[in-house]
């Protein structure tokens, strides 16, 4: 199989060398499994919680060329830690005949493997959220001391090695000029034009525009106010402006302020890439409309029906999502959770020390022996050129330090899960699935392979074992006839960006996949 390697590291607790470690493990995995590596895509200092990564997006686009059949990653959280983005992008790859392969996690390509992959992805997203909470707690501690929390300090300020703010006088002069010119009645557009003509830039090194000028003119940091999550601490920052000038400008801004535009929150459609029309087998996508009283409604609609090529009725988002989630939650019996925990822990940890960590430990142990023997030879004067001996010793010590650094990176990157950890995660999901969208998403990701929706029922296909055993038909009590009482906004608003469908293989369409050896029997 022709594969490309995708590697990335985030800026938190990881280093550039971790890219080399990922590439090494992936190349060894490819060689051991008969894959041919035809390219590499690398994102440096990029988060996995969203897919706005240049090399990642280029890889997704290149899959259209059909030059590779697999994307090989160090482990699944390198691909994405956000289940929604993962599902969208895997569906795009699947449409082009490309699958995602993990070099670290022992995951088969059967329905049981898909279930395990779903648990691992959901847990990666959960741990990513936990890490974010820890980072926020650390930021809050810094905020209590009026220290930098890592965000852009703004034009006129810099941060020292102890995270303390100080005034950059060159930039502070630009800030004062902007305020004085605006206070004198000069328009923001004129100020922007002049600053850009003088090749001056914002704190991010970019040309000024009216938005950046507006942010500067509203920034209370310039009068010494420290701000974190809406909380203000007067005197927490070094001062650049006097109160009189600042508040004079605020009064002018308030007078000229236009009414703010209404913002509209983004709605998440949890069944994207998994919900298919029972009539034509096309993918169903998120769709919204606005009622006569201004209330917004959210639906799933068949892509062919949207083009008037299918007569499938639309269905209200909450109805189908609730019923699917409820069906999945019934699978979380204690017996099933024990089984899943065993399988996930086994897949996650089986051979986890074999390729990267064990190999590095072996190399370090061999170097230790070489170094020890060389020390003995030097002490016993068994080496004619003592200076050359010490040079060799220094070389080995540097090599050992590099290997120890790589080992530390490998061990810090490993997500080693025990059965109790996986069971506790599943129990947490079960206890909060109706209240917490992340846990609803986790249930769908873990258990649902595909859903075929008809006008009076839907068929669920679960990720489970290797043998077909039964189907699960669920009736629908409430079906939305259409947007009879809703007014569509200007232009249709579809919330799924997929261009084409990616349904499972036809052989899976009418059966739930279960193994006779696993306990998924009591639905």
Task: Convert the pLDDT of each residue in 339-398 to its tens digit.
Answer: 888 877 777 665 555 456 677 788 888 888 888 888 888 777 788 788 888 888 888 888
Stronger pLDDT, 75 or 225, i.e. the higher one: 225
Average pLDDT over residues 497-517: 37
Same domain, 166 and 283: no
pLDDT tier for residue 440 given thresholds of 50, 70 and 90: confident
Same domain, 397 and 437: no
CB < 8 Å & 24+ apart, contacts of 409-413 = 409/14, 409/15, 409/17, 409/18, 409/21, 410/21, 410/356, 410/357, 410/360, 411/357, 412/13, 412/14, 413/14, 413/18, 413/21, 413/74, 413/75
pLDDT tier for residue 112 given thresholds of 50, 70 and 90: low
Domain of residue 174, CATH code: 3.90.1750.20
Same domain, 187 and 311: no
Boundary (domain end) residue, out of 382, 413, 444? 413
Whether 315 is covered by a domain: the verdict is yes
User: Can you give the pLDDT at residue 428?
Assistant: 83
Position 9 pLDDT exceeds 80? no
Whether 111 is covered by a domain: the verdict is no
Whether 495 is covered by a domain: the verdict is yes
The beta strand positions in 68-220, using DSSP E, are 70-73, 99-102, 157-159, 165-167
Boundary (domain end) residue, out of 228, 256, 284? 256
Same domain, 321 and 440: yes
Position 479 pLDDT exceeds 50? no
Average pLDDT over residues 118-124: 68
Tokens of 346: 């086994």
Cβ within 8 Å of residue 339, ≥6 positions away: 518, 519, 520
Position 105 pLDDT exceeds 50? yes
Whether 471 is covered by a domain: the verdict is yes
Highest mean pLDDT among 1-15, 206-220, 357-371, 394-408: 206-220
Same domain, 326 and 433: yes
Whether 267 is covered by a domain: the verdict is no
User: Can you give the pLDDT at residue 349?
Assistant: 64
Same domain, 91 and 236: no
Whether 109 is covered by a domain: the verdict is no
| Lowest mean per-residue pLDDT among 231-240, 285-294, 463-472 | 463-472
Whether 338 is covered by a domain: the verdict is no
Stronger pLDDT, 468 or 437, i.e. the higher one: 437
pLDDT tier for residue 490 given thresholds of 50, 70 and 90: very low
Same domain, 217 and 252: yes
Same domain, 325 and 380: no
Whether 219 is covered by a domain: the verdict is yes
What's the number of domains the chain is made of? 4
% pLDDT > 70, the chain: 69
Same domain, 442 and 299: yes
Q: Which domain holds residue 228?
A: 142-256
Same domain, 323 and 453: yes
User: Can you give the pLDDT at residue 90?
Assistant: 76
Average pLDDT over the chain reads 76
Position 99 pLDDT exceeds 80? yes
Stronger pLDDT, 230 or 11, i.e. the higher one: 230
Q: What does the pLDDT look like over 239-282, one tens digit per residue?
A: 999 999 999 999 888 877 654 444 444 678 889 888 999 999 99
Same domain, 32 and 181: no
Cβ within 8 Å of residue 392, ≥6 positions away: 374
Same domain, 284 and 248: no
Average pLDDT over residues 154-175: 91
Confirm if 77 and 417 have CB atoms less than 8 A apart: no
Boundary (domain end) residue, out of 374, 393, 413? 413
User: Can you give the pLDDT at residue 483?
Assistant: 39
For residue 491, how far is the Cα from the chain centroid? 30
């Amino acid at each position: 199989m022709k594969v490309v390697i995708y590697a990335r590291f985030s800026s938190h607790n990881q280093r550039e060398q971790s890219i080399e470690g990922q590439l090494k493990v992936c190349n060894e995995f490819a060689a051991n499994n008969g894959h041919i590596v035809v390219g590499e895509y690398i994102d440096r200092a990029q988060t996995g919680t969203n897919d706005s990564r240049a090399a990642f997006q280029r890889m997704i686009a290149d899959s259209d060329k059909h030059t590779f059949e697999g994307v090989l990653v160090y482990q699944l959280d390198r691909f994405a830690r956000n289940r929604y983005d993962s599902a969208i992008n895997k569906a795009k790859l699947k449409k082009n005949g490309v699958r995602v392969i993990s070099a670290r996690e022992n995951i088969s390509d059967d329905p049981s493997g898909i279930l395990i992959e779903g648990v691992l992805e959901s847990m990666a997203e959960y741990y990513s959220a936990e890490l974010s909470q820890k980072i926020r707690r650390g930021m809050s501690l810094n905020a209590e001391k009026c220290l930098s929390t890592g965000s852009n300090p703004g034009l006129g300020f810099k941060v020292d090695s102890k995270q303390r703010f100080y005034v950059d006088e060159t930039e502070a002069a630009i800030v004062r000029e902007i305020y004085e010119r605006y206070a004198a009645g000069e328009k923001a557009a004129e100020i922007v034009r002049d600053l850009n003509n003088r090749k001056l830039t914002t704190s991010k090194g970019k040309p000024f525009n009216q938005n950046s000028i507006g942010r500067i003119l509203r920034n209370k940091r310039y009068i010494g106010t420290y701000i974190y999550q809406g909380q203000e601490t007067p005197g927490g920052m070094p001062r650049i402006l006097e109160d009189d000038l600042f508040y004079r400008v605020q009064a002018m801004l308030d007078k000229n302020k236009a009414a703010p535009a209404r913002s509209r929150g983004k709605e998440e459609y949890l069944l994207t890439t998994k919900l298919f029309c029972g009539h034509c087998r096309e993918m169903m996508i998120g769709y919204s409309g606005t009622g006569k009283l201004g209330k917004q409604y959210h639906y799933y609609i068949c892509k062919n029906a949207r083009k008037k090529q299918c007569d499938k009725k639309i269905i209200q988002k909450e109805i189908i999502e609730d019923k699917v989630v409820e069906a999945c939650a019934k699978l979380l019996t204690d017996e099933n959770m024990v089984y899943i925990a065993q399988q996930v822990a086994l897949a996650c940890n089986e051979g986890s020390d074999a390729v990267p960590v064990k190999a590095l430990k072996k190399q370090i142990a061999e170097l230790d022996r070489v170094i020890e023997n060389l020390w003995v030879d030097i002490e016993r004067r068994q080496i004619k050129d003592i200076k050359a001996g010490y040079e060799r010793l220094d070389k080995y010590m540097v090599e050992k330090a590099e290997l120890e650094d790589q080992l530390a990176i490998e061990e810090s990157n490993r997500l080693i899960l025990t059965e109790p950890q996986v069971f506790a995660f599943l129990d947490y999901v079960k206890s909060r699935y109706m209240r917490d969208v992340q846990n609803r998403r986790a249930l769908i990701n873990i258990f649902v392979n595909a859903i075929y929706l008809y006008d009076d029922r839907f068929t669920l296909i679960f990720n489970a074992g290797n043998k077909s055993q039964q189907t699960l038909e669920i009736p629908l009590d409430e079906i939305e006839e259409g947007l009879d009482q809703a007014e569509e906004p200007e232009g249709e608003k579809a919330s799924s960006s997929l261009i084409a469908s990616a349904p499972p293989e036809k052989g899976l369409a009418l059966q739930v996949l279960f193994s006779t050896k696993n306990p998924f029997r009591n639905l």
